[in-house]
Structure 1
């Protein structure tokens, strides 16, 4: 049978299973079994058992549930409220005023949660009622929240970067460091957009009568100290070479727990809830990764990735042309799947193509995450849209419309890291191996 026929058959089967509501992990496993049984002579049962066993333990993957647990603890503690209160005095006179709380609040929380959905839920729970009460336009409230919450996928410690690192055998520490400058770039783009909108139409932004002296701002900043300690402890230990991402994740859980209890608004009951929620999320991701690993091995036995890479190289397709095609492909795929599923579904097929045209897999990981960020705010399966809809009860299409300018800013971010790849590579190169 020809490779296009095999690929099309497996793709139709996968889409059919997902459309029928089958769990992503189960769908991946069934497609892998079908590939082995019908399109190879390999022993399907033996490969399934050895792949699941071999990929069920990974020191790198240990960081995943720990970072998820850290985010769940913060979600239930008072530190998120303190962070909001500490930012307000500093941003009350900026162009766009308190809308920047959404942007910088999401950026800070992203740096300690690693999750886009957790960032949207936590910051949205605080900011949406407050900004609505103060008279800020709904479109900018929802847009800044939806767009900025996607930073949870990029700013380290990012759960999705751990998944990519495990799936492609890249250094997770180097991926974390590579995500710092692109994350700051996106924060700057979002803040600049809000400032430009405020300058173009000052009537959009309510005035603030309350004035803060410099010392009042400094006093309010004390509330940012716990979050700052947490970010410094986690990211600093990785960047300084003092700890691996897994060690840093364990440190983050300990620091988050101590600081949460010290805040006085945390209990063992909330800690238990955080552990159970983190366990459920971690098990879901682990099952998806096992299914993806099995599918990747199965695809190897069919010879599709190798033949596809050969086909790409024979086409003499430039790296730029491939990236344009992949960007369109990932945006469309992201309309129907969550970010982690997009990455685990595609890496076994895409990475040989990427290698064939000489694209750095480290750079490609950051590019892929930024593109996946775009999918978080595209209907019908934009996770951030669902989270914000659950918080506000507003129609998801209205939220998507409000988020569209930030979709375009993320697309601009993709263009910028393609033109200036040093934005991604300069810090990892300074860090070394």
Structure 2
């Protein structure tokens, strides 16, 4: 019998070698074609839709059972940039095995998850005379790392896609070795804010009469947030938030880790904003929206002193959204508030956006996956109704009305988006077993 693990590790090596950075539009059609070829080789009916810059790859594997259910497996083949290269201990675009780990850009997020799932399907087919108890569709997109641009457009073009359950792209084991299963993501809207107070930088002696773009920008941004209460001051910002139900709260409160662990682990020295608001830090992390300044730049920032009054200042911001919040509506609320506060001259430009989503964690299909995890992994799985991070679950659920659960090959030290991204081979092999177990459960 073919050694499927080695076959798909070879595929993983080929995928890692392709620098499919969606932010740079690099190697996306080439990576989609490699995946399409792999799905075809495995016996799937493959569509590569290249209507937009990042092709969507669809691979369908049909059961011979007339009443078979439908399982969609979603992944993305794009990756984050590998810079800074000097912090990598090896070439990020070469899959490296070292001390029981696989290392390379995208090995956890998300190419290793792709090949583990393909391995699981291949092994299941080998062990069951090529027959499946469930229809399986692989859905591979190429812009997840850039807010899944055009994914909603692609899904609108493919109304034939249907599912009883969607297996999401990735997941981890926690620091205690317990498998983590998730059912949601936050949304996001990112935007640039620019202040302009003149056509040229001025000598700073003129600051007594001439306004500075740096002051203008910082004063405007400061109106968004009340440092005393830890709350966002934009009117209507919280109005559309979908309040978590009791099961969702219970699941989050049961997640491992204390506030002290959180503070120590992230080396936080400032008071927690959730304490200022008088709310539980876990519930805030998973269920509340936020506004964050990602970076600010203005004037002279090199070594030494330059007495200058900046004519322009720039900031990059994001608002993390929860279900119920619309990215464009939220950004308009922010613009309107800045104008109401006397900062209508600030230029606000959207860069990316997508809504948030939470699955019903009591759905029978999700309960089944949780119970299967208990069969395979020691101890109780860590089940979360959502993630503090962002992803395109809402787009997929809006088009394909099915519950979503995430599971994957990662662990706490995977270093996603960072130099030396890695996974452990033991976790990779466990995930293959888990996906096979999920496929086989439809035969019961």
Larger radius of gyration: 2
Specify which structure has the higher proportion of strand: 2
State TM-score, norm by structure 2.
Answer: 0.29
Specify which structure has the higher proportion of helix: 1
